[in-house]
């Protein structure tokens, strides 16, 4: 009986072995390693793409900063200062700054010599006009000197603002624009200095021309006073008809 039961149990166990073996998981080690390596490579590629996108985004941000325009301009103020100086020159009295008109007026008022056809009264009037031209030229030069002094505080303020803008520039474009405005301020000051020097040289030239014309007038007056140079010859005068 026991032998029969053992035999039956053995037969049942043998019959169940294939079913139990079918339920065990079969692990392929080489396939697992390959899948792991593939996942690692994929993750590395994703990380590289993320890093590239981050670098590109930073480049776009930097380009945006470099292209950002400077929200400050001193051009209007510089133009206004130059316009003030130009107005002073336009208001100048005396000989005009126009070349064509200056040539005709200068030839008439500042001759190298006076002819006999010019009256003494006309020579006196011309001398008075020349003196007035010299005074007007000196006045114009002094007005420009005063205006240049008044422009100094404004230029200092503009210079300080431009330096601050240049130091706080967040991009290449802003730095370039600030530098260009600094150069514009320097050019404006050079133009102002040139205009001032022109008026000063003009005043000196008119005074020299006045002196030359005064000598020509003096020569003509002396000639007219002395006559043609024939000396006086005494003659006998008969008062009583004898």
pLDDT, tens digit (0-9, with 9 covering 90-100), for 204-214:
888 888 888 88
Q: Is the pLDDT of residue 239 over 70?
A: no
**Could you tell me what percent of the chain has a pLDDT over 90?**
0
| pLDDT greater at residue 71 or residue 107 | 107
Q: Is the pLDDT of residue 23 over 70?
A: no
- Tell me which range, 12-21, 57-66, 134-143, 152-161, is most confidently predicted by mean pLDDT: 134-143
Least confident of 1-10, 28-37, 38-47: 1-10
Burial readout 90-108 (b: 16 or more C-beta within 10 A, e: otherwise): eebebbeeeeeeeeebeee
- The tens digit of pLDDT for each residue in 191-203 reads 888 888 888 888 8
Q: Is the pLDDT of residue 11 over 70?
A: no
Nearest to 92 by CA among 62, 28, 136, 135: 136
What's the length of the chain? 242
Neighbours of 65 (CB within 10 A): 14
pLDDT at 20: 46
CA distance 193 to 199: 10
Measured at the CA of 187, the angle between CA 71 and CA 69, to 5 degrees, comes to: 15
- The tens digit of pLDDT for each residue in 106-138 reads 888 888 888 888 888 888 888 898 899 888 888
pLDDT at 21: 47
Residue 240 pLDDT level (bands cut at 50, 70, 90): low
For residues 72 and 157, the answer to whether their CB atoms sit within 8 Å is: no
Q: Is the pLDDT of residue 22 over 80?
A: no
Least confident of 62-76, 124-138, 197-211, 216-230: 62-76
């Amino acid at each position: 009986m026991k032998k029969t039961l053992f035999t039956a149990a053995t037969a049942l166990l043998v019959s169940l072995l294939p079913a139990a073996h079918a339920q065990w998981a079969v692990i392929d080690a080489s396939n697992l390693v390959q899948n792991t390596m593939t996942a690692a490579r994929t993750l590395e590629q994703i990380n590289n793409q993320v890093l590239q996108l981050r670098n590109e985004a930073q480049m776009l941000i930097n380009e945006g900063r470099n292209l950002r325009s400077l929200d400050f301009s001193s051009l209007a103020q510089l133009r206004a200062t130059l316009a003030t100086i130009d107005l002073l020159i336009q208001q100048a009295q005396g000989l005009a700054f126009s070349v064509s008109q200056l040539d005709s007026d200068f030839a008439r008022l500042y001759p190298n010599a006076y002819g006999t056809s010019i009256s003494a009264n006309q020579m006196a009037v011309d001398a008075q006009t020349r003196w007035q031209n010299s005074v007007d030229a000196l006045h114009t030069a002094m007005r420009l000197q005063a205006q240049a002094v008044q422009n100094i505080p404004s230029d200092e303020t503009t210079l300080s603002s431009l330096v601050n803008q240049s130091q706080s520039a967040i991009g290449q474009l802003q730095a370039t624009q600030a530098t260009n405005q600094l150069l514009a301020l320097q050019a404006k000051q050079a133009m102002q200095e040139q205009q001032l020097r022109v008026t000063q040289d003009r005043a000196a030239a008119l005074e020299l021309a006045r002196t030359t014309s005064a000598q020509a007038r003096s020569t003509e007056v002396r000639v007219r006073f002395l006559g043609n140079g024939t000396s006086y010859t005494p003659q006998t005068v008969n008062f009583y008809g004898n």
